[in-house]
A and B are shown apart, each in its own frame.
Chain A
Amino acid sequence: MMDFLDYLGRNYADIFAHTIEHMQLLGVSLTIAVLIGVPLGIYLTTNEQLASTVLQAASIILTIPSIALFGVMIPILSTIGQGIGFLPAVIALILYSQLPIIRNTYTAINNVDPNIRDAAKGIGMTTLQRLWKVEIPNGMPLIMAGVRTATVLSIGIGAIAAFIGSGGLGVLIDMGISRGNQNMVLAGAIAISILAIAADFGLKKIQVKFSPKGI
């Protein structure tokens, strides 16, 4: 125990730097994932057939082990000189985030009370007005829940991306294992856990703030 605290005392700056790296990776990939997943989820509510195909594809992506996905991307992205590093990690996290984000958005919009939808239509809202004024606000808690799931998922998978040189807290675990340094592994693991809990908590606050008061 003393040993571990001693390690933390000597390496806190390094751990902090890796945490920042990890958050950058998450920030970039989640922003892009939301920008793709939310509009796609909304669009799918208008196209039932495409919806089942896309949701199935997203489910399949989630079952691919992350190491395998990185492996597949190396030769592809090598053609543009980005086989390892930040870019493949971001792409992987975007792909893994799609299922929770698309599925929750799709369900949120589809689950809006048909009576409310009918009233919105009957009083003369356009399709876009219904979406902005009624369907998205009422679906907000569920959409945000999807983003939270995607975040926690990405924090975990982001650690594995250290193997392809993306940086982040996974580096501590990776190096700790190869050097047989238990304290290093422990520091990385604990930092990732704290990050996951903090992100989930923070997003929950955001969810409450952005969800309309009346629902």
Chain B
Amino acid sequence: MIEFTNVSKTYPGGVKAIDDVSLTIEHGEFVVLLGPSGCGKTTLLRMVNQLEDITEGSIAVEGKNIHDLNKIDMRREIGYVIQSNGLFPNMTIEENVMVVPNLLGWSKEKRAERFDYLMDLIGMPPENYRGSFPHELSGGQQQRIGVARALAADPPVMLMDEPFGALDPIIRSRIQEEFMDIQKKLKKTILFVSHDIDEAIKLADKIVLLKDGEIQQFDRPAELLNRPVNDFVSEFVGEDSVLKSLNLYQVKDLQATLDLPAVEGSPDGKVFHPHDSLRHVLAHLLHPSRQYVYVEGEDGTTNGPVSVEHIEAFVREITA
């Protein structure tokens, strides 16, 4: 758990980088700090592990005020991943991943065991990479190692500063999905900086949208997209916010609002699974040759038909 209480940072000369931020990230929650460059998102993140000073207010990690803790010790208990991966070129992959356990004085056996576990977790065979050096790896692999390093001492809290920002879109998307799977297993408390709304929507339990060091909106992604609280938020989420938000809803959400009859015989359109995204369904329906789709019911039935009008009605409801 991370708690920001009335946190402000003022640079000498009076420029306010962070302006009275109060925010609570619950245990196991994935929160993305989102905003245009210069909004203070990275500064806010780096305040947590005391790489940036706080002018006013306080931050507590796992219930303890960070000012009462030893800087070096507290940093070792927080996972930290940065954009350019920050791997040490002079160390092997094993040394890189095990750098914090090493600082903490873990035994060699315990380290080797942990290394194998982490490499399996990120999907890289430990034996193939143990003695390799960072420059021998691709950008995506280096970033995976960066994540493994942050997880090495099993910290309850992770800070991630645009960790996937430098990767090409295809690799980025794949690593995001892998990371989501890891997070499902490990349930870390994560604070994640991004400037990419699509990434934030995909990953976050909640999004903090910042502008000029102030929180504009702190909400679940769907709420942020469909119920922006001010002009800045609605502009930032973009004109296609409704379309984006359909990514966050599944066929079963639509089913819950409709009472679709079961279909006798074979349906005359594509049948969607309850976990397919509504955006997917809409994209399918927009083709002029298709009027209806059907959805799989809970008890093996096929229900329908669903048309564009149903999705429109659903959107009216979520944006109301």
Residues in chain A within 8 A of chain B (CB atoms): 113, 115-116, 118-126, 129, 133-134, 137-138, 212-215
Q: Which of B73-81, B205-213, B300-308 contacts A (4 or more CB under 8 A)?
A: B73-81
Q: Mark B31-48, 1 if CB is under 8 A from A, else 0.
A: 000000000000000100
* B141 CB, min distance to chain A CBs, angstroms: 14
**Are A123 and B99 neighbours in the complex by a CB distance under 8 Å?**
yes
16 A-B residue pairs with Cβ-Cβ distance under 8 Å, sorted by A, are A115-B85, A118-B82, A119-B82, A122-B49, A122-B159, A123-B100, A123-B150, A124-B72, A125-B72, A126-B72, A134-B88, A212-B91, A214-B89, A214-B90, A214-B91, A215-B90
- In the complex formed, the residue of A with least CB distance to B152 is A123
**Are B86 and A115 neighbours in the complex by a CB distance under 8 Å?**
yes
- In the complex formed, the residue of A with least CB distance to B159 is A122
- In the complex formed, the residue of B with least CB distance to A211 is B90
Q: How far is the CA of A213 from the CA of B132 in the complex (A)?
A: 10
Q: How far is the CA of A129 from the CA of B88 in the complex (A)?
A: 13
Q: How far is the CA of A161 from the CA of B286 in the complex (A)?
A: 90
**Are A123 and B75 neighbours in the complex by a CB distance under 8 Å?**
yes
**Are A138 and B88 neighbours in the complex by a CB distance under 8 Å?**
yes
B176 contacts chain A at the CB level, 8 A cutoff: no
Q: What is the interface of chain A mostly: helix, strand, loop, or mixed?
A: helix
Q: How far is the CA of A126 from the CA of B73 in the complex (A)?
A: 10
Q: What is the interface of chain B mostly: helix, strand, loop, or mixed?
A: mixed
* A176 CB, min distance to chain B CBs, angstroms: 48
Contacts of A212 on B, CB cut-off 8 Å? 89-91
- In the complex formed, the residue of A with least CB distance to B135 is A214
* A116 CB, min distance to chain B CBs, angstroms: 6
Q: How far is the CA of A133 from the CA of B100 in the complex (A)?
A: 12
**Are A122 and B75 neighbours in the complex by a CB distance under 8 Å?**
yes
Q: How far is the CA of A13 from the CA of B162 in the complex (A)?
A: 68
**Are B51 and A123 neighbours in the complex by a CB distance under 8 Å?**
no
* A114 CB, min distance to chain B CBs, angstroms: 9
Q: How far is the CA of A61 from the CA of B76 in the complex (A)?
A: 45
* A17 CB, min distance to chain B CBs, angstroms: 42
**Are B149 and A123 neighbours in the complex by a CB distance under 8 Å?**
yes
* A121 CB, min distance to chain B CBs, angstroms: 6
Q: How far is the CA of A121 from the CA of B85 in the complex (A)?
A: 14
Contacts of A129 on B, CB cut-off 8 Å? 103
- In the complex formed, the residue of B with least CB distance to A116 is B86
* B232 CB, min distance to chain A CBs, angstroms: 30
The A-contacting residues of B in range 83-99, CB under 8 angstroms, are 83-92, 99
- In the complex formed, the residue of A with least CB distance to B75 is A124
Q: How far is the CA of A123 from the CA of B91 in the complex (A)?
A: 15
- In the complex formed, the residue of A with least CB distance to B80 is A122
- In the complex formed, the residue of B with least CB distance to A122 is B80
B133 contacts chain A at the CB level, 8 A cutoff: yes
- In the complex formed, the residue of A with least CB distance to B133 is A214
- In the complex formed, the residue of A with least CB distance to B132 is A214
* B111 CB, min distance to chain A CBs, angstroms: 15
**Are A119 and B89 neighbours in the complex by a CB distance under 8 Å?**
no
B134 contacts chain A at the CB level, 8 A cutoff: yes
**Are B72 and A119 neighbours in the complex by a CB distance under 8 Å?**
no
Q: How far is the CA of A137 from the CA of B88 in the complex (A)?
A: 10
* B41 CB, min distance to chain A CBs, angstroms: 16
Contacts of B85 on A, CB cut-off 8 Å? 115, 119
**Are A137 and B90 neighbours in the complex by a CB distance under 8 Å?**
yes
**Are B86 and A118 neighbours in the complex by a CB distance under 8 Å?**
yes
Contacts of A125 on B, CB cut-off 8 Å? 72, 99, 103
